[in-house]
Amino acid sequence: MKKIFSIVLICGGLLSSSCSDWLDLLPNNEQVTDQYWKSKEDVEAVVASGYYYMRQNITRMMQLGELRGGTLYTKGNLLWTNNAEKMQDFNLQPSHGICKYEDIYKVIGMANSVLHYAAGVRTLDDTYTEGALKAHMAEAYFMRAYCNFLLVRNWRDVPLVTEAFVTDRADYNLPVSSEEDIIDCIKSDLLTAIESGGAKTIYEEEWQTKGRATIWALYALMADVCLWDEDYDNAIIYCNKILEVPEGDTSIRPKFIADATKWFEIFYPGNSNESIFELNFNYALYQETNAFANQLSITSAQSSGFVLTERAVDKVKQEAAEVIKAQNSVVPERVGRTLMASVIYPGMVAPYSDYVRQQDLLLWKYHGTDVVDVGNFRENLDPNFIIYRVAEIVLIKAEALIMKGGPGSSEWSAAVALINQIRERAMLPAIEEQVAQEYNKLEFMQVLLNEREMEFLGEGKRWYDLLRLARKDNYNKEYYDFFVSEILEGNTTTNDLWVYNVLQDVNALYLPIPQSEIDVNPNLEQNPYYSN
């Protein structure tokens, strides 16, 4: 793995709070060594580089989180040079570009450098306060934890890198660590950051409060990790640190946007009250762009971008009909999460489903400027990419309660109330508690997963939601069979029998170690599914 870590790019010079400074990486190809770390600005520069590389990974985040989940797919052509279509077909080889993880490790490398060197800067720069140091350390722990979580959910067993690679004499040939050890490291990093008291609640600039890691981002990531680890009690505890405001607490915390007409503010202009952490782009001020508006365009069905599967189209249409019925309205204009996802033609009349074609569907959250003004598209290709928002914390807590409880339990009553909070904003009818109490656990999870699928459509969540259930209780057969059926129902691009046979080996749920890493590191062991 030497080629991943031997050269680390840094941000040079003073970084102010300007978002544009957080994009530029100058000078290039400079080794981050003890000769570099002289001032608080140097620390800030490397922290900024970590966020820069996270922004460079957003298309990869979308691919990894969506393409295997049966909601979005790609037809694949020159736009996808990393063989992403092979991943959705469960037909990967270790040589395929989508399997490479070096860009994720770049963020970890930045974080490790901050954790290694930042404390020493305090002895050299009198203006670098203890509070500023702790804040930078908390951000570094968040970035390292998030990227390790991204790695473990996709590759499972990978090298666990916790030391800064400061010279070419360092040992780069690390073996893979187990998922258990990586999850333990992630939790330890997050606890260290939380307990240090250094994480900020807000920053001086509004965009930084959402675009840099805060205490709320640490809580959100910890809740997500605990849910993945089937640590449901702690998942609920960390959700409550965001959702429940202690008496006398005057801190500014993220809040759920309950008003359906204001829901779209989450996406345009972004950095809303509901946001916890998102990767920021701003073309008007800083010429920052990303590819989502092109990759999720109305012409995607004829191009190489993301396309809604037939299964997803049917679910969008079904939910649209529910909204129309619940609101006693012909076609409410692009409100809630469902109609937002489609092109609605002016003057269109019911039934809505008769007017929706798969090639007409696009993810309006990355294109539009409002939930009311039909046809108003963003001027620039610069939507933010949301990592966590309060709606997800609501549903993480609901899932943990479902898994803890059972029919007739208080946990299930609380879960129903949380899910209905999301549905009410989407202008959908509430789930009746009496009905929910008659579900078995898998049936209730199907309801929960449907809410997550529709609420977070195109936000890079779907595959992890399904995989989390598939892994439950050591790949419990009942849950796993449901998982397989969901994948097959959404499969658009390959033979069902092939996918079914692949999924009989749980190792195939994870990506292979890149062949380029195997070639240079004799200590790496390949995922058993790909060994042959």
Task: Flag whether pLDDT at 12 surpasses 70.
Answer: no
d(CA 395, CA 415): 8
How far is CA 406 from its chain centroid?
29
Task: Reduce the secondary structure of 63-82 to three states and give it as a string.
Answer: HHHHCCCCCEEECCCCCCCC
Q: Please report which confidence band the pLDDT of residue 336 belongs to, taking 50, 70 and 90 as the band edges.
A: low
Least confident stretch, 233-242, 298-307, 362-371, 391-400: 298-307
Could you read off the pLDDT of 458-486 as tens digits, one per residue? 899 999 999 999 999 999 999 999 999 99
Q: Across the chain, what does the average pLDDT equal?
A: 85
Which residues pair with residue 278 across a beta bridge? 386
Task: Flag whether pLDDT at 352 surpasses 50.
Answer: no
Residue 369: predicted pLDDT: 79
Could you read off the pLDDT of 184-239 as tens digits, one per residue? 999 999 999 999 999 999 999 989 999 999 999 999 999 999 999 999 999 999 99
CA-angle at 512, arms to 510 and 515, nearest 5°: 170
- Looking at per-residue confidence, does 261 or 298 come out higher? 261
Q: Please report which confidence band the pLDDT of residue 404 belongs to, taking 50, 70 and 90 as the band edges.
A: very high
Q: Show me where the domains of the chain are located.
A: 2-199+514-530, 285-383
Cβ atoms of residues 73 and 303 within 8 Å: no
Give the residue among 64, 54, 523 at the shortest CA–CA distance from 306: 64
Cβ atoms of residues 271 and 389 within 8 Å: no
Could you read off the pLDDT of 51-98 as tens digits, one per residue? 999 999 998 999 999 999 999 888 765 445 689 999 999 999 999 999
| Structure-token pair, residue 217 | 């981002």
Give the residue among 508, 422, 512, 526 at the shortest CA–CA distance from 467: 508
Quick one: average pLDDT of 498-524? 96
Task: Flag whether pLDDT at 341 surpasses 70.
Answer: no
Q: Please report which confidence band the pLDDT of residue 320 belongs to, taking 50, 70 and 90 as the band edges.
A: confident
Least confident stretch, 1-5, 105-109, 228-232, 284-288: 1-5
CATH number of 2-199+514-530: 1.25.40.390
Residue 327: predicted pLDDT: 74
| Structure-token pair, residue 523 | 């200590």
Percent over 90 (pLDDT), the chain:
65
Could you read off the pLDDT of 159-172 as tens digits, one per residue? 999 998 765 555 67
- Who's near 1: CB < 8 A, 6+ residues apart? 105, 159, 172, 173, 174, 517, 520, 521
Task: Flag whether pLDDT at 157 surpasses 60.
Answer: yes
Residue 379: predicted pLDDT: 80
| Structure-token pair, residue 483 | 């998982």
Convert 435-461 to b/e letters by CB count within 10 Å (16 or more is b).
ebbebebeebbebbbebbbbbbbbbbb
Q: Please report which confidence band the pLDDT of residue 410 belongs to, taking 50, 70 and 90 as the band edges.
A: very high
Task: Flag whether pLDDT at 46 surpasses 50.
Answer: yes
Q: Please report which confidence band the pLDDT of residue 349 belongs to, taking 50, 70 and 90 as the band edges.
A: very low
Residue 330: predicted pLDDT: 53
Task: Flag whether pLDDT at 315 surpasses 60.
Answer: yes
Could you read off the pLDDT of 239-282 as tens digits, one per residue? 999 999 887 787 789 999 999 888 889 999 999 999 999 999 98
Write phi, then psi, for 275 (nearest 5 degrees): -65, 140
Percent over 70 (pLDDT), the chain:
82
Residue 80: predicted pLDDT: 52
Task: Flag whether pLDDT at 18 surpasses 70.
Answer: no
Residue 291: predicted pLDDT: 75
Does the N-terminal peptide bond of residue 269 adopt cis geometry, omega within 30 degrees of 0? Answer: yes
Task: Flag whether pLDDT at 425 surpasses 70.
Answer: yes
